Amino acid sequence: MSENTLNLGFSAPSASGDERITYEDVLRAQDRLKVLKSRAAKSSLRLLWLLAGPGVLVMLGENDGPSMVSYATTGATYGIGFFVPFILLTFLMAFVVQEMTVRLGAATHRGHAELIFQRFGPFWGYFAMGDLVFGNLLTLVTEFIAIQAGGLYFGVPSWASVTIGVALVIVSLTFRRYATWERVLMGLAVFNLLFIPAALYAHPDGAALSRALAAWGPLPGGFTLAFLTLILANVGATVTPWMIFFQQSAVVDKGMTRADVPQGRTDTAIGAILAAIAAVATLVAAAPLFAAKVDVSTFANGADFATALVPLIGSTGATLFALGILEAGLVAAMTISTSSSYALAETMSAAEKAPARHSLNLDFAHGRLFYGVAIASTVLAAGIVLIPGAPLLAMTLTVNVIATLLMAPALLLLLLLANDTEIMGDLANGRWANLAGGTTVVAIAVVGALYGVITAFPNLLPK
């Protein structure tokens, strides 16, 4: 701990049998020992492998069902052009935001929700948690819509695909070991890259891609409301509140320290690059719909895109696309439900309302609230999707409004915490970090608020 950080007066355990040591500590220590050995052996690649996870998971997790539909809509509406470099820019913004959570977690060993509660008081603590958990529940509904849609493409009935999805989320929580949970999810998240071969089946024009990257164009139709909406939707598809809470909590649960920040940054950068490639691949895979002038305005989910792509990129490409949508919904359901668990248990713990612990290293007896939140929100969201006539469209629209309108408070609280030298010490934002972070935060907050308003009041602007 650096000299100018708060000293909470805790000393190292001195002997075996210290009652302050929990089983969670022991499991985390086992992981840390591997990290310390790798660092001592100067094995950079193994060190990066051991410390990678939160960044890759958060970035690929945010490439979720609705996000992939946004990218596909963009490709089908505008083809290969302006949005290719724009999507890359949004992931750069995501990296700037998420890098702050790595430093916060490593410096404080506190999750984002408990840090907000402790440093800014109960109002902001409860607000941030309530906003997140409610928004996450609605987002989970949209993930199960993606799982359901992906299943329907393969002829699997809705009840079966949704039930399998719930079962897989619950099974992922039974590991009771953060490291195992993380590696299993990383293995699943790799399938987000299925959009790359799907894009190759679309036979993209390399020269057109190069021109798009170099010239930020073409932009057919110019600046219209549809263009503005897709700009805002693509930003909303890349940076969302759950990512901030999830990555900081995962960094803490993984046991990362100040010494691990460089690897945490690299992990986040790798995640951003992989997710950006998958996002652009989704746009490219859907671009033949633009060339064929297919009207996608009535498409409700990813399966509609996959079905429409069959005659254009072939059944193999379309199947890969549908599998990608399934994976996107499933991995996001696992990470987002865990994000709710962390936030709610951290807030209850900070408020001393319940002996709530918050770690994937907990057994069920000690983590009833933690695991209960993830399981309950998953089952509830899946149940809603299966209710005949449930207002799924209303929920999807509300998710967009909540996530984007309330992004401003989440980002500003993040920026304030990252500048809090009492807890951050020498990891607090410097001038350049504040310039990059501040610019990104203001841009996303303004864009998010605008998107929220346009979604809520679609007739506000002329068509």
Instruction: Quote the least distance from Cβ 185 to other proteins, whole Å.
Output: 23
Stretch that binds other proteins, among 76-84, 96-104, 224-232, 390-398 (CB under 8 A): 390-398
CA distance to 80, 288, 301, 318, per residue, from 310 (Å): 19, 11, 15, 5
Residue from 70, 349, 377, 429 touching other proteins (CB under 8 A): that is 349
Residue from 26, 160, 213, 225 touching other proteins (CB under 8 A): that is 26
Backbone angles phi, psi at 82, to 5 degrees: -50, -40
Contact predicate 308/289, CB 8 Å: yes
For 196-245, give the secondary structure using H, E and C. Answer: HHHHHHCCCCHHHHHHHHHHCCCCCCCCCHHHHHHHHHHHHCCCCHHHHH
Q: What is the rounded CA–CA span in Å between residue 425 and residue 2?
A: 6
Q: What is the rounded CA–CA span in Å between residue 382 and residue 368?
A: 21
Contact predicate 433/418, CB 8 Å: yes
By CB under 8 A, tell whether 416 contacts other proteins: yes
Nearer to other proteins, 376 or 453 (CB): 453
Residue from 2, 4, 29, 160 touching other proteins (CB under 8 A): that is 29
Write out the two tokens for 454. Answer: 């346009």
Crossing angle of helices 65-78 and 83-108, in 10° steps, is: 160
Contact predicate 50/246, CB 8 Å: no
Of residues 118 through 177, those in contact with other proteins by CB under 8 A are 118-121, 124, 127
Nearer to other proteins, 23 or 159 (CB): 23
Residue from 41, 380, 393, 461 touching other proteins (CB under 8 A): that is 393
Stretch that binds other proteins, among 264-272, 274-282, 303-311, 415-423 (CB under 8 A): 415-423
Residue from 32, 39, 183, 368 touching other proteins (CB under 8 A): that is 32
Crossing angle of helices 83-108 and 225-236, in 10° steps, is: 30
Nearer to other proteins, 49 or 134 (CB): 134
> Among 313, 312, 322, which residue's Cα sits nearest to residue 69?
322
Instruction: Quote the least distance from Cβ 338 to other proteins, whole Å.
Output: 18
Note the residues at the interface with other proteins (CB under 8 A): 1, 6, 8-26, 28-30, 32-33, 35-36, 108-110, 114-115, 118-121, 124, 127, 252, 255, 257, 349-350, 357, 389, 391-395, 397-398, 401-402, 405-406, 408-409, 412, 416, 420, 422-423, 449, 452-453, 455-456
